[in-house]
């Protein structure tokens, strides 16, 4: 890994650090070290990183702003690539908007609203990056990414890049083709928005954001929704009905505000969160016969 780090530093591709603690890069504030942590300064440098990783046959993991993520206490083997400041450009062409995967979803949605472009009102309270939002088809308030995305620019492990259409992305509930069938990295996304009344758009965004603030624990370290909704049921309601709100294991606690959120109540470890997730799963299965499926992405060494 040291040889790879040295090579990447010589290539001047951006930030390169060994044994970087990932707790500082996740919204849960949990996570052990990455063998090698890289934050590329451009799309071209990201492509160079992937080509070298592919050549060296090194394991790789991609993160954005670290929401919807639970990283093991033992950290992550291989290379962790963070998509950030080098991949957050926004290019406006009428109602079509090209945005880099490292851009903040909330900031991007609000910026488009201020320009009188409608379609991203639902995203005004969704944390994380555009790349992560596209990867998992993030959604809220009755809409999701699949309703506004036109196509996505994907970088594959061997360094090849390809634009995937909305059909090729194979979106479904919190899922895309990138999660299993065609693993790849979202580097850019092209959105098709619609002209609208700026004041009305901003007002709706403010209401959506305020709703999240009053119903979800965004003032505490958390990873967003822990479970997918087992429709027609809702995960948070099942947890609340089971009397689990406020239940804790170690430093991990089920939020008093929303049953589908686990907060880091003080020096929580990944194992605390995992044990709490398993406790919720067993309880809901026993009481209601419903198998809960995690929405949060759990990664790293066992």
Which residues are identified as catalytic?
Answer: 174, 225, 295
Instruction: Look up residue 139 and give its two tokens.
Output: 């959604």
CA distance 10 to 16: 10
Q: How many CB atoms lie within 10 A of CB 15?
A: 16
C-alpha to C-alpha distance for 288 and 285, rounded to whole angstroms:
5
Query: What count of other Cβ atoms lies within 10 Å of the Cβ of residue 51?
Result: 15
CB 96 within 8 A of CB 190: yes
Q: How far apart are CA 58 and CA 1, in angstroms?
A: 9
Residue 154, SS3?
Answer: strand
Q: What is d(CA 123, CA 40) in angstroms, rounded to the nearest whole number?
A: 26
Q: Which two tokens stand for residue 92?
A: 């406006």
């Amino acid at each position: 890994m040291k040889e790879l780090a040295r090579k990447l530093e010589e290539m001047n591709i951006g930030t390169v650090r060994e044994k970087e603690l990932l707790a500082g890069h996740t919204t849960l504030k949990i996570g052990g070290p990455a063998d090698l942590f890289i934050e590329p300064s451009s799309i071209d440098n990201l492509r160079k990183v992937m080509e070298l990783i592919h050549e060296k046959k090194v394991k790789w993991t991609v993160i954005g702003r670290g929401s919807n993520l639970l990283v093991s206490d033992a950290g992550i083997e291989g290379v962790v690539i963070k998509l950030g400041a080098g991949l957050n450009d926004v290019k406006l062409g009428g109602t079509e908007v090209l945005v880099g995967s490292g851009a903040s979803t909330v900031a991007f949605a609000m910026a488009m609203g201020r320009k009188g472009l409608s379609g991203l009102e639902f995203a005004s309270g969704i944390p994380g990056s555009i790349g992560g939002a596209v990867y998992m088809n993030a959604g809220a308030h009755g809409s999701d990414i699949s309703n506004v995305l036109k196509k996505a620019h994907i970088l594959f492990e061997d360094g090849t890049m390809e634009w995937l259409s909305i059909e090729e992305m194979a979106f479904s509930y919190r899922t895309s083709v990138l999660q299993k069938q065609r693993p790849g990295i979202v580097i850019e996304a092209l959105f098709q928005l619609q002209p609208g009344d700026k004041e009305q758009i901003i007002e709706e965004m403010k209401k959506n954001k305020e709703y999240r603030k009053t119903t979800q624990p965004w003032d505490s370290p958390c990873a967003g929704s822990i479970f997918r909704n087992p429709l027609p049921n809702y995960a948070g309601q099942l947890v609340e009905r089971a009397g689990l709100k406020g239940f804790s294991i170690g430093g991990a606690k089920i939020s008093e505000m929303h049953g589908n959120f686990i907060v880091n109540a003080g020096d929580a470890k990944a194992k605390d969160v995992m044990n709490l997730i398993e406790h919720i799963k067993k309880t809901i299965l026993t009481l209601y016969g419903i198998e809960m499926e995690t929405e949060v992405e759990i990664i790293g060494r066992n």
